[in-house]
Chains A and B, each alone.
Chain A
């Protein structure tokens, strides 16, 4: 499926509305880090990744792991938009409720089309590396995309995997750091600084692309550059805006993990009209 940038921007706006409605209905969840990642996830599912929603376990498919599992709403909404049979659009507003397939964090037991059950931070890149090595062994063209939070990379296991992927020349692996600069307790720079991000990944042996992660054109170009990079994995350091698209949520630590009230939802949806 190939979509124009303009089409993706329309989808991105719908996804943002979904995210806000879902989290507001659930009265809990993580809007900020879901909104920051919208352009990246939309581009992956609507253009970059070789996938077939009607055949979600197609062996040659590309795979996406949301290592920052608390951003589940962006993934649910995008998969629903993309038409996976096990992510119905009309059930999105059951997020986090008892009996819902839309669990608080992505859970393969409820949505088999997911590639991993995540939520405990720091683990996705290792999983992705294992998948990348397995696919390469079988000679499959599959590429593995792992999205990490900038707070998440404070976890030591991330750097174990970051060391191992270039060592094994896993050029079918892409790490995407959603660098929105905010984590639960506040700004990343005040909790545990992770800069200089690009230098860190580069010094571990990755090909690094820095980009504006909320710019659909830049996002597409970055994934194209990653695909063209041979012999080493690529890390996208995607500079994003936490809460992107809703003025009072943007760059506001409060909306890392707090749901909008009904009034706030109304205001937010007006901005996204």
Chain B
């Protein structure tokens, strides 16, 4: 990609778009129209996971399992073994935590073509509080051998990656969220599983983020730009398989990396990026995420701020990493 470094930097405009769960639900309907093998299994949350759109248009291909996520995942795997392309959906916290053993045995080890979609991920689910907040599912899903794990940032990327998941032959987990997601991409932007997107060019420091924190990373880049710091922002929408080349290049060229995610620091994107950095071009790193604790009820914005997941937190992590840059 060629970038005119002389041109004045265009500021990121925070524009609320469609929630990624909504994008997932709409895309499922498109997929259902295109391919009669696409089927959906849900566990009494279709009005929240947005599989309800699919259920209305394709009642014969929508299977309600009631509040029974382990069975939902197992039935999904069975449908895959019968040649279907099943999407099973629930809140991330229930799909992955209650369906984990089934994801492991029937989808990962059993190598079935199952797509698990978690909605209401992270602490930005808001008012429902910690029992509904999924902050560990990236770590869990990535620990399943052979799984593809993705966390799209906005509507356009979510739509494209849900389509990519349907076209991919193998088990996939997709993390989506409840609140409206700020628009990052134009509708025609192309995405590929495992291929990170450089959403802003820069040379002094790289911020690697995914999900809702891509927008916060863009805002942080603007804060730093005002101080004369040139910030590269990378959307790591696929956590597994990681785009090692994009990470190695960023480590080599900017020699300072901040990773930001709406997830526990333990086992999240940050430690996975750090592993690649350690193996390629070791450099100073900082991590923005949730530190070994549970959150609470509140508005998403209030929570993201209290748990230090917003642009000023990312900017201060970047300033800190710059002081350590060799």
Q: Which residues of A contact B (CB under 8 A)?
A: 59, 108-109, 115-120, 123, 125-135, 137-138, 156-157, 160-161, 163-164, 167-168
Contact (Cβ within 8 A) B71 A128:
no
Contact B79 A130 (CB under 8 A): yes
The A-contacting residues of B in range 55-69, CB under 8 angstroms, are 60-61, 63, 65-66, 68
For the complex, is B77 an interface residue (Cβ under 8 Å from A)? yes
A161-B74, A161-B75 are known contacts. Are A130 and B101 too (CB-CB below 8 A)? Answer: no
Known contacts A156-B70, A157-B71, A160-B70, A115 near B81 by CB under 8 Å: yes
B residues near A130, Cβ cutoff 8 Å: 41, 74-82, 86
In the bound assembly, the distance between CA atoms of A30 and B82 in angstroms comes to 30
Q: Which of B68, B73, B80, B81 contacts A164 (CB 8 A)?
A: B68
Specify the chain B residue showing the minimal Cβ separation from A135.
B82
- Asked if B20 is at the interface of the complex by the 8 Å CB criterion, the answer is no
For B80, list chain A residues within 8 Å (CB).
Answer: 130
Judge whether A137 and B39 touch: CB under 8 Å: yes
CB contact between A123 and one of B39, B61, B66, B106 (< 8 Å): that residue: B106
Q: How many CB-defined contacts (below 8 Å) exist between A and B?
A: 100
Given contact pairs A123-B102, A127-B106, A116 touches B81 in the complex (Cβ within 8 A): yes
CA–CA, A156 and B60, complex, Å: 27
Is there contact, CB below 8 Å, between B74 and A127? yes
Q: Are A168 and B70 in contact (CB under 8 A)?
A: no
In the complex, what residue of chain A is closest to B75 when comparing beta carbons? A130
* A108-B110, A117-B109 known; A164-B75 Cβ under 8 A: yes
A160 touches B78 (CB 8 A): no
Which chain B residues lie closer than 8 Å to A138 at the CB level?
82-83
Please give, as numbers and ranges, the residues of chain B lying within 8 Å of A123 by CB-CB distance: 74, 101-102, 105-106
Q: Mark B264-291, 1 if CB is under 8 A from A, else 0.
A: 0000000000000000000000000000
A164 and B66 in contact, given A126-B71, A130-B82, A131-B82 (Cβ under 8 angstroms): yes
Top 8 A-B residue pairs of the complex, sorted by shortest distance between their CB atoms? A130-B78, A126-B74, A134-B82, A160-B71, A160-B68, A130-B75, A127-B78, A130-B79
Q: Is B111 an interface residue (CB 8 A)?
A: yes
CA distance A157 to B60 in the complex (A): 24
Q: Is the CB of A127 within 8 A of B81?
A: yes
Q: Contact: B79 with A161, CB < 8 Å?
A: no
Complex partner residue of B75 from A109, A133, A137, CB under 8 angstroms: A133
Would you list 30 pairs from A and B whose C-beta atoms are within 8 A, ordered by A residue?
A108-B111, A109-B111, A115-B81, A117-B105, A117-B109, A120-B105, A126-B71, A126-B77, A126-B106, A127-B74, A127-B75, A127-B78, A127-B81, A127-B106, A128-B78, A129-B75, A129-B78, A130-B77, A131-B79, A131-B82, A133-B75, A134-B79, A134-B82, A134-B84, A137-B61, A138-B83, A160-B66, A160-B71, A164-B71, A167-B66
Specify which chain B residues have a CB less than 8 angstroms from the CB of A128 in the assembled complex: 78
Closest-CB distance, A123 to chain B (whole angstroms): 5
- The CA-CA distance from A188 to B12 in the complex, in Å, is 65
Distance of A116 Cα from B66 Cα, bound (Å): 24
Q: Chain B: which residue is nearest A118 at the CB level?
A: B105
Point out residues on B near A: beta carbons under 8 Å: 39, 41, 60-61, 63, 65-66, 68, 70-71, 73-84, 86, 101-102, 104-106, 109-111
Q: Check if A133 sits within 8 Å of B74, measured CB to CB.
A: no
Given contacts A126-B78, A129-B71, A161-B71, 4 further A-B contacts (CB under 8 A): A117-B109, A125-B74, A127-B78, A160-B68
On chain B, the residues within 8 Å of A137 by CB distance are 39, 60-61, 84
A127 to B71, CA, bound (A): 8
**Closest CB of chain A to B90's CB: distance in Å?**
13
Contact B110 A117 (CB under 8 A): yes
Distance, CA A160 to CA B106, complexed state (A): 16
A212 to B41, CA, bound (A): 37
Provide the bound-state CA to CA distance between A164 and B66, in Å. Answer: 8
CB distance from A261 to the nearest CB of B (A): 33
> Which residues on the A side are within 8 Å of B63 (C-beta)?
133, 168
Q: B106 contacts A134, CB within 8 Å?
A: no
Q: Across the interface, which residues of A come within 8 angstroms of B70, CB to CB?
A: 126, 156-157, 160
Residues of B within 8 A of A164 (CB): 65-66, 68, 71, 75
Give Cα A265–Cα B77 distance, bound, in whole angstroms.
39
Q: Is the CB of A127 within 8 A of B77?
A: yes
Which A residues lie within 8 Å of B82 (CB)? 130-131, 133-135, 138
Q: Complex Cα distance A115/B60, Å?
A: 25
Q: Which A residues touch B101, using CB under 8 A?
A: 120, 123
Report yes or no: B109 in contact with A134, Cβ–Cβ below 8 A.
no
Q: Do A163 and B110 touch (CB < 8 A)?
A: no
Cα A129 to Cα B102 in complex, Å, equals 14
Q: How far is the CA of A134 from the CA of B60 in the complex (A)?
A: 11
Q: How far is the CB of B96 from chain A (nearest CB, A)?
A: 16
Question: Contacts A161-B74, A164-B71 known; A126 to B102 CB distance under 8 Å?
Answer: yes
Q: Provide the bound-state CA to CA distance between A129 and B70, in Å.
A: 13
Q: Which residues of A contact B79 (CB under 8 A)?
A: 130-131, 133-134
A115 to B80, CA, bound (A): 12
**How far does the Cβ of B170 sit from chain A's closest Cβ, in whole Å?**
14
Interface centre among B39, B73, B75, B86 (most CB of A within 10 A): B75
Please report the C-alpha to C-alpha distance between residue A113 and residue B70 in the assembled complex, in whole angstroms: 26
Question: CB-nearest residue of chain B relative to A108?
Answer: B110
Q: How long is the Cα–Cα vector from A157 to B71 in the complex, in angstroms?
A: 6
**Chain A hits for B41, CB < 8 A:** 130
CA distance A156 to B68 in the complex (A): 10
Tell me the bound Cα distance from A109 to B79 in angstroms. 19
